[in-house]
Amino acid sequence: MTADERVQSIVERMRRDGFQAIDALAEQYGVTPQTIRRDVNLLCERGVLRRRHGGVEWPASSENLAYPARQVLNIEAKRQIAALVARDVPPSASLFFGIGTTPEACARALAEHQSLRVMTNNLNVALAFSRNPSAEVIIAGGRLRTPDHDVIGGDAIGFFDRFSVDIGIYGVGGVDESGTLLDFTHEEVSMRQSLTQNCRQRFLVLDHSKFGRRATMRGGHISEASAVFTDRPLPSGIANRLAADGVRVVIATSSSH
C-alpha cells in the first residue's frame, strides 16, 4: 500500500468506524506510530480529520469539511461522475450549477463544451468556464464564503428564480436512510431548492460517501432528481424508491439503471 492509498484508507475507516487510536492504526497498516502520525497530521491540516488525545476523530456532524479537504476526497470518483454528466449535456444547453466539489468537477469536465449558458453561485464553476470564449456565465451576487468560493444568502437568495434552464447540476451535504437531502446551513438548502425548482432536468451528483452522512438541515428528497449520478450502487431502499419513481441512476464504471 502506498502512502496515498494508506491515507485514503484511513479516511474511509474513520468515516465508517469513528475514533481511531494512533497505535491501533499503526498495527492495522503495519507501519510505525510515527508514520501514522504524519498521515494524521496531513489529514488534520487539510481539515479532513480532527485530533483527539491518543488518536483522531471525524469532525462534528454539524460541521462540513474544509473546502480544500473536500476537493481531494474521493477525487477519482468525482472525476468519473463528472465525465458521465458531461456526456449527457448537449452543446448550447443552459445550465444551473450549485455549490460543492462535485458540481465543480462537472464544470471542469464541461469546460470545453460549446455555447453553454451557465448560471451559478459557485465561483470555482465560473472560473472553470471563464477560459471558454463560447460560454456565457452569469454569477450570483452577495456574500462570498471563503475558502469555499461560493455565494449564498443575502442578495443571492432568489438568484435561480430569475431563470428557467435546461439542466440543473447540484450536490448535497448528505442523504439520510429515507432519501431526504441534508445540508449544513439553511442558506444552502434554500439555494439548492431554488435551483431545482427552475430547471427542466435535475442532475444530482454525489459520491458514495454522502449516503448516511449526517448534516443538520433537511430539505428535499433524492427522488425529486431527474437523474442521480454516483460512483457505487445505492442503498437498496433508496434504489427501490428511485426505480419506482422513474428516476434514472447512472453509476460510474457501470451502465445506467
Q: Where are the alpha helices (DSSP H) in 73-168?
A: 75-88, 101-110, 123-129
Q: How many CA atoms lie within 13 Å of 141's alpha carbon, on the beta-carbon side?
A: 2
Cα(39)–Cα(55) distance, integer angstroms: 12
Cα(252)–Cα(82) distance, integer angstroms: 9
pLDDT (tens digit per residue) in 134-169: 999 999 998 888 777 899 888 898 999 999 999 999
Cα(44)–Cα(133) distance, integer angstroms: 39
> What is the residue-level pLDDT of the chain in tens, covering all 257 positions?
788 888 878 887 887 788 999 999 999 999 999 999 999 888 887 777 888 888 998 776 555 555 555 555 678 889 999 999 999 999 999 999 999 999 999 999 999 999 999 999 999 999 999 999 999 999 999 888 877 789 988 889 899 999 999 999 999 999 999 999 999 899 999 999 999 999 999 999 999 989 988 788 999 999 999 999 999 999 999 999 999 999 999 999 744 44
Cα(45)–Cα(53) distance, integer angstroms: 16
Preceding peptide of 59 cis, ω within 30°? no
pTM metric for this prediction: 0.76
